[in-house]
Protein backbone atom coordinates (compact mmCIF):
# COMPACT_ATOMS: atom_id res chain seq x y z
CA UNK A 1 0.00 0.00 0.00
CA UNK A 2 1.39 3.37 -1.01
CA UNK A 3 -0.81 6.15 0.33
CA UNK A 4 1.69 8.80 -0.77
CA UNK A 5 1.54 7.60 -4.39
CA UNK A 6 -2.26 7.43 -4.22
CA UNK A 7 -2.44 11.02 -2.95
CA UNK A 8 -0.14 12.24 -5.68
CA UNK A 9 -2.24 10.56 -8.35
CA UNK A 10 -5.53 11.95 -6.99
CA UNK A 11 -4.28 15.38 -5.92
CA UNK A 12 -6.88 17.18 -8.06
CA UNK A 13 -9.71 15.58 -6.03
CA UNK A 14 -10.61 17.16 -2.67
CA UNK A 15 -9.05 15.25 0.24
CA UNK A 16 -8.02 15.81 3.84
CA UNK A 17 -5.99 14.16 6.58
CA UNK A 18 -7.15 16.55 9.30
CA UNK A 19 -7.24 14.43 12.51
CA UNK A 20 -10.69 15.69 13.60
CA UNK A 21 -12.19 14.93 10.18
CA UNK A 22 -10.46 11.54 10.09
CA UNK A 23 -11.95 10.59 13.43
CA UNK A 24 -15.43 11.87 12.57
CA UNK A 25 -15.47 9.97 9.29
CA UNK A 26 -14.24 6.78 10.95
CA UNK A 27 -17.33 6.53 13.16
CA UNK A 28 -21.07 6.08 12.77
CA UNK A 29 -24.00 5.74 15.18
CA UNK A 30 -22.89 2.24 16.24
CA UNK A 31 -20.98 3.79 19.13
CA UNK A 32 -24.24 4.75 20.80
CA UNK A 33 -26.10 1.54 19.95
CA UNK A 34 -23.77 -1.32 20.84
CA UNK A 35 -21.20 -1.59 23.63
CA UNK A 36 -19.72 -4.56 21.77
CA UNK A 37 -19.15 -2.53 18.59
CA UNK A 38 -17.91 0.43 20.61
CA UNK A 39 -15.16 -1.71 22.10
CA UNK A 40 -14.26 -3.27 18.75
CA UNK A 41 -14.02 0.14 17.04
CA UNK A 42 -11.35 1.41 19.41
CA UNK A 43 -8.31 2.61 17.46
CA UNK A 44 -9.90 1.93 14.06
CA UNK A 45 -9.27 4.97 11.82
CA UNK A 46 -8.83 5.68 8.14
CA UNK A 47 -5.76 7.52 6.87
CA UNK A 48 -7.45 9.96 4.51
CA UNK A 49 -10.86 11.39 3.62
CA UNK A 50 -11.48 11.78 -0.12
CA UNK A 51 -14.43 13.91 -1.28
CA UNK A 52 -15.31 13.41 -4.96
CA UNK A 53 -17.81 15.71 -6.67
CA UNK A 54 -18.57 13.66 -9.77
CA UNK A 55 -18.78 10.12 -11.11
CA UNK A 56 -15.58 10.75 -13.08
CA UNK A 57 -13.75 11.53 -9.86
CA UNK A 58 -15.14 8.39 -8.22
CA UNK A 59 -13.83 6.32 -11.13
CA UNK A 60 -10.42 8.00 -10.86
CA UNK A 61 -10.26 7.24 -7.13
CA UNK A 62 -11.29 3.62 -7.72
CA UNK A 63 -8.56 3.12 -10.31
CA UNK A 64 -5.87 4.73 -8.16
CA UNK A 65 -6.93 2.74 -5.10
CA UNK A 66 -6.66 -0.50 -7.07
CA UNK A 67 -3.24 0.39 -8.44
CA UNK A 68 -1.86 1.30 -5.02
CA UNK A 69 -3.87 -1.26 -3.01
CA UNK A 70 -5.62 1.33 -0.83
CA UNK A 71 -8.68 0.17 1.16
CA UNK A 72 -11.81 2.18 0.32
CA UNK A 73 -14.82 2.67 2.60
CA UNK A 74 -17.73 4.48 0.87
CA UNK A 75 -19.71 6.70 3.24
CA UNK A 76 -22.83 8.83 3.27
CA UNK A 77 -23.99 10.82 6.30
CA UNK A 78 -22.73 8.27 8.85
CA UNK A 79 -26.14 7.45 10.39
CA UNK A 80 -25.55 3.67 10.29
CA UNK A 81 -26.06 1.60 13.45
CA UNK A 82 -24.19 -1.67 12.82
CA UNK A 83 -20.59 -0.73 12.16
CA UNK A 84 -20.98 -0.15 8.41
CA UNK A 85 -18.97 3.07 8.73
CA UNK A 86 -16.14 1.83 10.97
CA UNK A 87 -12.93 1.06 9.03
CA UNK A 88 -11.16 -2.20 9.83
CA UNK A 89 -8.11 -1.75 7.57
CA UNK A 90 -7.29 1.98 7.38
CA UNK A 91 -7.08 3.40 3.88
CA UNK A 92 -9.55 6.05 2.74
CA UNK A 93 -13.11 7.08 3.42
CA UNK A 94 -14.82 7.96 0.16
CA UNK A 95 -17.24 10.68 1.26
CA UNK A 96 -20.04 10.48 -1.31
CA UNK A 97 -22.10 13.43 -0.04
CA UNK A 98 -20.76 15.62 -2.85
CA UNK A 99 -22.70 13.55 -5.39
CA UNK A 100 -26.12 14.81 -4.33
CA UNK A 101 -28.11 15.54 -7.47
CA UNK A 102 -31.64 14.43 -8.34
CA UNK A 103 -31.01 13.43 -11.96
CA UNK A 104 -34.62 12.99 -13.09
CA UNK A 105 -38.05 11.93 -11.85
CA UNK A 106 -41.55 11.25 -13.10
CA UNK A 107 -44.68 9.68 -11.59
CA UNK A 108 -43.03 6.27 -11.34
CA UNK A 109 -39.38 6.62 -10.31
CA UNK A 110 -36.67 9.04 -9.23
CA UNK A 111 -33.05 8.75 -10.40
CA UNK A 112 -30.51 10.19 -7.97
CA UNK A 113 -26.85 10.33 -7.04
CA UNK A 114 -25.96 8.45 -3.83
CA UNK A 115 -25.21 11.51 -1.70
CA UNK A 116 -28.69 12.97 -2.17
CA UNK A 117 -30.43 13.60 1.13
CA UNK A 118 -33.68 11.66 1.54
CA UNK A 119 -35.75 14.63 2.66
CA UNK A 120 -34.37 16.71 -0.22
CA UNK A 121 -35.41 14.00 -2.68
CA UNK A 122 -38.98 14.18 -1.38
CA UNK A 123 -38.97 17.98 -1.56
CA UNK A 124 -38.09 17.63 -5.25
CA UNK A 125 -40.73 15.04 -6.15
CA UNK A 126 -43.65 15.96 -3.85
CA UNK A 127 -44.78 19.03 -5.86
CA UNK A 128 -45.63 16.61 -8.66
CA UNK A 129 -47.65 14.44 -6.25
CA UNK A 130 -45.12 11.67 -5.52
CA UNK A 131 -42.60 10.76 -2.80
CA UNK A 132 -40.24 7.98 -1.74
CA UNK A 133 -41.98 4.79 -0.68
CA UNK A 134 -39.71 4.14 2.30
CA UNK A 135 -37.31 6.26 4.31
CA UNK A 136 -35.42 5.72 7.58
CA UNK A 137 -36.14 7.62 10.78
CA UNK A 138 -32.94 9.56 9.96
CA UNK A 139 -34.57 10.98 6.80
CA UNK A 140 -33.59 14.58 7.59
CA UNK A 141 -29.85 13.75 7.60
CA UNK A 142 -29.37 10.39 5.81
CA UNK A 143 -28.35 9.89 2.17
CA UNK A 144 -30.06 7.55 -0.26
CA UNK A 145 -26.80 5.70 -0.97
CA UNK A 146 -26.22 5.03 2.71
CA UNK A 147 -29.82 3.89 3.17
CA UNK A 148 -29.71 1.43 0.27
CA UNK A 149 -26.14 0.29 0.91
CA UNK A 150 -26.45 -0.22 4.65
CA UNK A 151 -30.10 0.03 5.70
CA UNK A 152 -33.14 -2.08 4.95
CA UNK A 153 -36.36 -0.74 6.46
CA UNK A 154 -38.13 2.38 7.65
CA UNK A 155 -41.19 4.59 7.57
CA UNK A 156 -43.48 3.25 4.86
CA UNK A 157 -42.37 -0.35 5.30
CA UNK A 158 -45.65 -1.27 7.05
CA UNK A 159 -47.23 -0.73 3.64
CA UNK A 160 -44.51 -1.30 1.02
CA UNK A 161 -42.28 -3.92 2.65
CA UNK A 162 -38.52 -3.76 3.16
CA UNK A 163 -35.92 -2.61 0.62
CA UNK A 164 -35.00 -6.23 -0.12
CA UNK A 165 -38.56 -6.94 -1.34
CA UNK A 166 -39.06 -7.17 -5.09
CA UNK A 167 -39.66 -3.77 -6.71
CA UNK A 168 -38.51 -1.50 -3.87
CA UNK A 169 -35.24 -0.70 -5.68
CA UNK A 170 -35.48 -0.22 -9.44
CA UNK A 171 -31.80 0.09 -10.37
CA UNK A 172 -28.34 0.59 -8.86
CA UNK A 173 -25.23 1.71 -10.73
CA UNK A 174 -21.91 0.72 -9.17
CA UNK A 175 -18.23 1.14 -9.95
CA UNK A 176 -15.62 -1.56 -9.34
CA UNK A 177 -12.34 -0.93 -7.52
CA UNK A 178 -10.00 -2.21 -10.22
CA UNK A 179 -7.25 -0.80 -12.40
CA UNK A 180 -9.77 -0.26 -15.20
CA UNK A 181 -12.98 0.38 -13.22
CA UNK A 182 -16.12 -1.25 -14.52
CA UNK A 183 -19.40 0.69 -14.38
CA UNK A 184 -22.29 -1.75 -13.92
CA UNK A 185 -26.04 -1.09 -13.77
CA UNK A 186 -28.10 -3.68 -11.93
CA UNK A 187 -31.88 -3.98 -12.30
CA UNK A 188 -34.62 -6.34 -11.12
CA UNK A 189 -33.54 -9.08 -8.74
CA UNK A 190 -29.86 -8.19 -9.25
CA UNK A 191 -30.12 -4.98 -7.18
CA UNK A 192 -29.85 -7.11 -4.06
CA UNK A 193 -26.26 -7.94 -5.01
CA UNK A 194 -25.49 -4.44 -3.71
CA UNK A 195 -28.29 -3.63 -1.28
CA UNK A 196 -27.23 -3.95 2.38
CA UNK A 197 -23.68 -5.06 1.61
CA UNK A 198 -22.02 -2.09 3.35
CA UNK A 199 -20.24 -0.93 0.20
CA UNK A 200 -18.35 -4.22 -0.23
CA UNK A 201 -19.80 -5.04 -3.68
CA UNK A 202 -19.15 -1.81 -5.55
CA UNK A 203 -19.22 1.96 -5.11
CA UNK A 204 -22.78 3.19 -5.70
CA UNK A 205 -22.84 6.11 -8.15
CA UNK A 206 -26.54 6.27 -9.11
CA UNK A 207 -29.82 4.80 -7.87
CA UNK A 208 -33.31 4.63 -9.29
CA UNK A 209 -36.10 4.27 -6.73
CA UNK A 210 -39.86 3.76 -7.13
CA UNK A 211 -42.22 6.51 -6.00
CA UNK A 212 -45.56 6.41 -4.22
CA UNK A 213 -48.43 8.91 -4.12
CA UNK A 214 -47.64 11.77 -1.73
CA UNK A 215 -50.35 12.33 0.87
CA UNK A 216 -50.92 14.92 3.55
CA UNK A 217 -49.87 12.71 6.45
CA UNK A 218 -51.36 13.03 9.91
CA UNK A 219 -49.32 11.68 12.81
CA UNK A 220 -50.88 10.49 16.05
CA UNK A 221 -50.16 8.86 19.41
CA UNK A 222 -52.75 6.32 20.54
CA UNK A 223 -52.48 4.71 23.96
CA UNK A 224 -53.91 1.52 25.47
CA UNK A 225 -54.21 -0.10 28.87
CA UNK A 226 -52.30 -3.26 27.89
CA UNK A 227 -49.56 -4.21 25.46
CA UNK A 228 -51.83 -6.86 23.97
CA UNK A 229 -54.43 -4.19 23.12
CA UNK A 230 -51.75 -1.95 21.60
CA UNK A 231 -50.29 -4.79 19.52
CA UNK A 232 -53.72 -6.00 18.37
CA UNK A 233 -54.55 -2.45 17.28
CA UNK A 234 -51.29 -2.07 15.31
CA UNK A 235 -51.82 -5.42 13.59
CA UNK A 236 -55.43 -4.56 12.73
CA UNK A 237 -54.42 -1.15 11.39
CA UNK A 238 -51.76 -2.68 9.15
CA UNK A 239 -54.21 -5.26 7.78
CA UNK A 240 -57.04 -2.74 7.22
CA UNK A 241 -56.40 -2.28 3.53
CA UNK A 242 -58.78 0.65 3.16
CA UNK A 243 -56.74 2.78 5.58
CA UNK A 244 -53.63 4.32 4.05
CA UNK A 245 -50.84 4.23 6.68
CA UNK A 246 -47.14 4.90 6.72
CA UNK A 247 -46.08 4.08 10.28
CA UNK A 248 -47.18 1.92 13.21
CA UNK A 249 -44.73 1.60 16.12
CA UNK A 250 -45.55 0.01 19.47
CA UNK A 251 -44.02 1.13 22.78
CA UNK A 252 -44.54 -0.98 25.86
CA UNK A 253 -44.65 1.01 29.08
CA UNK A 254 -42.27 2.43 30.37
CA UNK A 255 -40.71 2.94 26.91
CA UNK A 256 -42.96 5.99 26.26
CA UNK A 257 -41.38 7.68 29.30
CA UNK A 258 -38.05 7.80 27.44
CA UNK A 259 -39.56 10.18 24.88
CA UNK A 260 -38.96 13.35 26.86
CA UNK A 261 -40.23 15.72 24.16
CA UNK A 262 -43.55 13.82 24.13
CA UNK A 263 -44.05 13.96 27.92
CA UNK A 264 -47.29 15.97 27.77
CA UNK A 265 -48.81 13.29 25.51
CA UNK A 266 -47.74 10.27 27.59
CA UNK A 267 -49.89 8.87 30.38
CA UNK A 268 -48.32 6.78 33.14
CA UNK A 269 -48.65 3.05 32.66
CA UNK A 270 -50.12 3.32 29.17
CA UNK A 271 -48.71 1.56 26.11
CA UNK A 272 -48.51 3.70 22.98
CA UNK A 273 -48.72 3.25 19.22
CA UNK A 274 -47.19 5.95 17.01
CA UNK A 275 -48.86 6.17 13.60
CA UNK A 276 -48.90 8.13 10.34
CA UNK A 277 -52.19 8.12 8.45
CA UNK A 278 -53.13 9.69 5.11
CA UNK A 279 -55.47 12.62 5.65
CA UNK A 280 -58.21 11.07 3.52
CA UNK A 281 -58.16 7.94 5.74
CA UNK A 282 -58.43 9.85 9.00
CA UNK A 283 -62.16 9.28 9.59
CA UNK A 284 -61.86 5.53 9.10
CA UNK A 285 -58.79 5.51 11.32
CA UNK A 286 -60.53 7.29 14.21
CA UNK A 287 -63.38 4.79 13.97
CA UNK A 288 -60.83 1.99 14.34
CA UNK A 289 -59.27 3.67 17.39
CA UNK A 290 -62.69 3.94 19.03
CA UNK A 291 -63.69 0.38 18.19
CA UNK A 292 -60.46 -1.01 19.67
CA UNK A 293 -60.51 0.97 22.91
CA UNK A 294 -57.64 3.32 22.17
CA UNK A 295 -57.26 6.92 23.29
CA UNK A 296 -55.66 9.57 21.08
CA UNK A 297 -53.34 11.78 23.15
CA UNK A 298 -51.96 13.72 20.18
CA UNK A 299 -52.58 14.21 16.48
CA UNK A 300 -51.44 16.75 13.93
CA UNK A 301 -49.92 17.23 10.50
CA UNK A 302 -46.56 15.55 9.90
CA UNK A 303 -43.75 17.47 11.57
CA UNK A 304 -46.01 20.22 12.93
CA UNK A 305 -46.17 19.06 16.56
CA UNK A 306 -44.92 21.26 19.40
CA UNK A 307 -42.20 18.68 20.22
CA UNK A 308 -39.89 19.97 17.49
CA UNK A 309 -39.51 16.97 15.17
CA UNK A 310 -41.64 14.56 13.09
CA UNK A 311 -43.24 11.78 15.11
CA UNK A 312 -41.44 9.22 12.96
CA UNK A 313 -38.26 10.30 14.78
CA UNK A 314 -39.61 8.35 17.75
CA UNK A 315 -39.62 5.06 15.83
CA UNK A 316 -37.13 2.53 14.44
CA UNK A 317 -33.50 3.48 15.25
CA UNK A 318 -34.52 6.83 16.70
CA UNK A 319 -36.47 5.14 19.49
CA UNK A 320 -33.21 3.68 20.85
CA UNK A 321 -31.53 7.07 20.55
CA UNK A 322 -34.19 8.67 22.76
CA UNK A 323 -34.00 5.83 25.28
CA UNK A 324 -30.22 6.04 25.51
CA UNK A 325 -30.37 9.76 26.23
CA UNK A 326 -32.14 8.80 29.46
CA UNK A 327 -30.46 5.46 30.23
CA UNK A 328 -27.21 5.05 28.26
CA UNK A 329 -26.61 1.48 29.45
CA UNK A 330 -29.74 0.10 27.77
CA UNK A 331 -29.29 -2.02 24.62
CA UNK A 332 -31.45 -4.10 22.30
CA UNK A 333 -31.26 -6.35 19.28
CA UNK A 334 -33.47 -6.71 16.21
CA UNK A 335 -35.72 -9.73 16.04
CA UNK A 336 -38.45 -10.59 13.52
CA UNK A 337 -41.70 -11.89 14.96
CA UNK A 338 -43.44 -14.69 13.02
CA UNK A 339 -46.13 -13.51 10.62
CA UNK A 340 -48.35 -16.52 11.34
CA UNK A 341 -48.25 -16.05 15.13
CA UNK A 342 -47.65 -12.35 15.44
CA UNK A 343 -49.75 -11.41 18.46
CA UNK A 344 -49.04 -14.68 20.26
CA UNK A 345 -45.27 -14.33 19.90
CA UNK A 346 -45.38 -10.72 21.15
CA UNK A 347 -47.29 -11.86 24.24
CA UNK A 348 -44.87 -14.75 24.88
CA UNK A 349 -41.83 -12.49 24.62
CA UNK A 350 -43.40 -9.99 26.99
CA UNK A 351 -44.16 -12.71 29.56
CA UNK A 352 -40.68 -14.22 29.33
CA UNK A 353 -38.58 -11.08 29.18
CA UNK A 354 -40.80 -8.40 30.73
CA UNK A 355 -38.54 -8.12 33.77
CA UNK A 356 -35.57 -7.20 31.55
CA UNK A 357 -37.16 -4.12 30.03
CA UNK A 358 -39.89 -2.83 27.73
CA UNK A 359 -40.49 -3.78 24.11
CA UNK A 360 -40.33 -1.41 21.18
CA UNK A 361 -41.78 -2.91 17.99
CA UNK A 362 -42.04 -1.46 14.48
CA UNK A 363 -44.63 -2.96 12.17
CA UNK A 364 -43.34 -4.00 8.75
CA UNK A 365 -44.13 -6.14 5.77
CA UNK A 366 -41.53 -8.60 4.56
CA UNK A 367 -41.97 -11.00 1.66
CA UNK A 368 -45.55 -9.72 1.40
CA UNK A 369 -46.46 -10.74 4.96
CA UNK A 370 -47.07 -8.59 8.02
CA UNK A 371 -44.59 -8.90 10.84
CA UNK A 372 -42.81 -6.57 13.23
CA UNK A 373 -39.25 -6.08 14.40
CA UNK A 374 -37.81 -5.22 17.79
CA UNK A 375 -36.73 -6.67 21.11
CA UNK A 376 -36.74 -5.84 24.81
CA UNK A 377 -34.63 -2.85 25.86
CA UNK A 378 -32.39 -4.03 28.68
CA UNK A 379 -29.29 -3.17 30.67
CA UNK A 380 -26.22 -4.67 28.98
CA UNK A 381 -24.11 -6.96 31.15
CA UNK A 382 -21.90 -9.03 28.84
CA UNK A 383 -21.80 -10.80 25.46
CA UNK A 384 -22.92 -13.95 27.29
CA UNK A 385 -25.96 -12.15 28.67
CA UNK A 386 -26.77 -10.90 25.17
CA UNK A 387 -26.41 -14.43 23.79
CA UNK A 388 -28.85 -15.78 26.38
CA UNK A 389 -31.46 -13.22 25.28
CA UNK A 390 -30.94 -14.09 21.61
CA UNK A 391 -31.35 -17.79 22.31
CA UNK A 392 -34.45 -17.15 24.40
CA UNK A 393 -36.09 -15.09 21.65
CA UNK A 394 -35.39 -17.82 19.12
CA UNK A 395 -36.92 -20.41 21.45
CA UNK A 396 -40.12 -18.35 21.28
CA UNK A 397 -40.12 -18.56 17.47
CA UNK A 398 -38.63 -15.12 16.90
CA UNK A 399 -35.82 -14.87 14.32
CA UNK A 400 -32.86 -12.80 15.49
CA UNK A 401 -30.51 -10.66 13.45
CA UNK A 402 -27.23 -9.53 14.97
CA UNK A 403 -26.81 -5.78 15.41
CA UNK A 404 -23.59 -6.21 17.41
CA UNK A 405 -21.29 -7.30 14.59
CA UNK A 406 -19.84 -5.37 11.64
CA UNK A 407 -20.06 -8.26 9.17
CA UNK A 408 -22.83 -8.53 6.57
CA UNK A 409 -23.05 -12.32 6.68
CA UNK A 410 -23.10 -12.55 10.47
CA UNK A 411 -25.54 -9.63 10.78
CA UNK A 412 -28.15 -11.95 9.27
CA UNK A 413 -30.39 -9.27 7.73
CA UNK A 414 -29.82 -10.52 4.20
CA UNK A 415 -28.73 -13.79 2.58
CA UNK A 416 -25.26 -14.18 1.08
CA UNK A 417 -24.86 -16.92 -1.48
CA UNK A 418 -22.74 -17.88 -4.46
CA UNK A 419 -24.07 -14.99 -6.57
CA UNK A 420 -23.10 -12.40 -3.96
CA UNK A 421 -19.61 -13.86 -3.51
CA UNK A 422 -19.05 -13.98 -7.27
CA UNK A 423 -20.26 -10.41 -7.80
CA UNK A 424 -18.04 -9.18 -5.00
CA UNK A 425 -14.99 -10.80 -6.61
CA UNK A 426 -15.92 -9.09 -9.89
CA UNK A 427 -16.35 -5.63 -8.34
CA UNK A 428 -13.51 -5.87 -5.82
CA UNK A 429 -10.82 -8.21 -7.17
CA UNK A 430 -8.20 -7.00 -4.68
CA UNK A 431 -10.41 -7.06 -1.56
CA UNK A 432 -10.21 -3.29 -1.02
CA UNK A 433 -13.87 -2.33 -0.53
CA UNK A 434 -14.63 -1.89 3.18
CA UNK A 435 -12.34 -4.84 3.98
CA UNK A 436 -13.52 -7.31 6.60
CA UNK A 437 -17.18 -6.32 6.41
CA UNK A 438 -18.53 -8.86 3.92
CA UNK A 439 -18.09 -11.87 6.21
CA UNK A 440 -16.28 -12.69 9.44
CA UNK A 441 -14.25 -15.33 7.62
CA UNK A 442 -12.25 -12.52 5.98
CA UNK A 443 -10.59 -11.32 9.19
CA UNK A 444 -8.41 -12.98 11.80
CA UNK A 445 -10.37 -11.51 14.71
CA UNK A 446 -14.07 -11.18 13.82
CA UNK A 447 -14.97 -9.80 17.25
CA UNK A 448 -17.20 -10.92 20.09
CA UNK A 449 -20.39 -9.82 18.35
CA UNK A 450 -19.89 -12.25 15.48
CA UNK A 451 -20.15 -15.16 17.90
CA UNK A 452 -23.68 -14.35 19.06
CA UNK A 453 -25.97 -17.32 18.31
CA UNK A 454 -28.33 -15.47 15.98
CA UNK A 455 -30.44 -17.31 13.44
CA UNK A 456 -30.60 -14.46 10.95
CA UNK A 457 -33.74 -13.76 8.91
CA UNK A 458 -35.28 -16.19 6.46
CA UNK A 459 -36.35 -14.73 3.12
CA UNK A 460 -38.36 -16.09 0.25
CA UNK A 461 -35.93 -16.61 -2.60
CA UNK A 462 -36.20 -14.05 -5.40
CA UNK A 463 -35.64 -15.95 -8.64
pLDDT band at 416 (very low <50, low <70, confident <90, very high): very high
The beta-strand segments (E) located in 17-153 are 48-50, 72-75, 92-95, 102-105, 109-112, 130-132
Domain boundaries, the chain: 3-96, 98-213, 217-400
Q: Write down the pTM of the prediction.
A: 0.96
Say if 98-213 and 217-400 have the same CATH topology.
no
Calpha distance 256→160 (Å, rounded): 26
Residue-level pLDDT at 360: 98
Written out in words, the top-level CATH class of the domain with range 98-213 is alpha beta
pLDDT surpasses 80 at 460: no
Calpha distance 386→389 (Å, rounded): 5
Q: What angle do the packed helices 282-291 and 227-238 form, to 10 degrees?
A: 150
Residues 37 and 452: beta-carbon distance below 8 Å: no
Q: Pick the closest to residue 245 from 381, 362, 71 (CA basis).
A: 362
pLDDT band at 463 (very low <50, low <70, confident <90, very high): very low
Start-end of H helices in 114-202: 118-125, 144-150, 157-160
Residue-level pLDDT at 455: 86
pLDDT surpasses 50 at 355: yes
Residues 138 and 150: beta-carbon distance below 8 Å: no
The backbone torsions φ and ψ at residue 12, rounded to the nearest 5 degrees and listed phi first, read -80, -10
The mean pLDDT of the chain is 95
SS3 state at 155:
strand
Q: Pick the closest to residue 253 from 370, 350, 119 (CA basis).
A: 350
pLDDT surpasses 50 at 164: yes
pLDDT tens per residue, range 51-97: 999 999 999 999 999 999 999 999 999 988 888 999 999 999 999 99
SS3 state at 361:
strand
Q: Which CATH architecture best describes the domain 3-96?
A: 2-Layer Sandwich (3.30)
Stretch (H or E) spanning 366? strand 359-366
Stretch (H or E) spanning 353? helix 342-353
- 236-252 b/e (C-beta count within 10 Å ≥ 16 → b): ebbeeeebbbbbbbbbb
pLDDT surpasses 90 at 320: yes
Calpha distance 427→445 (Å, rounded): 25
Residue-level pLDDT at 126: 97
Q: Which CATH architecture best describes the domain 217-400?
A: 3-Layer(aba) Sandwich (3.40)
pLDDT surpasses 60 at 296: yes
Amino acid sequence: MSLQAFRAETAAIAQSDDPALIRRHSRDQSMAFSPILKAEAKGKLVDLVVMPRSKAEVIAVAAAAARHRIPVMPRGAGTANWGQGIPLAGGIVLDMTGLDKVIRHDDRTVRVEPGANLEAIDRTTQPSGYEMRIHPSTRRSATIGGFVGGGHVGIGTCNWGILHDRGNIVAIEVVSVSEAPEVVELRGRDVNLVHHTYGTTGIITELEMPLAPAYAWREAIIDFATLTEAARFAITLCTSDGIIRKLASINEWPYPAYFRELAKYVRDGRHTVHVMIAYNSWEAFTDLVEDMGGYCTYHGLEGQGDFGRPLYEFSFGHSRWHANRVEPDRVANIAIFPHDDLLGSIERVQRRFGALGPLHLDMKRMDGRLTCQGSPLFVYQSPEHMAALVEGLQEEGVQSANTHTMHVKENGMRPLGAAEYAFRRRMDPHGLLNPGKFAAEEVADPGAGAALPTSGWAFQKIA
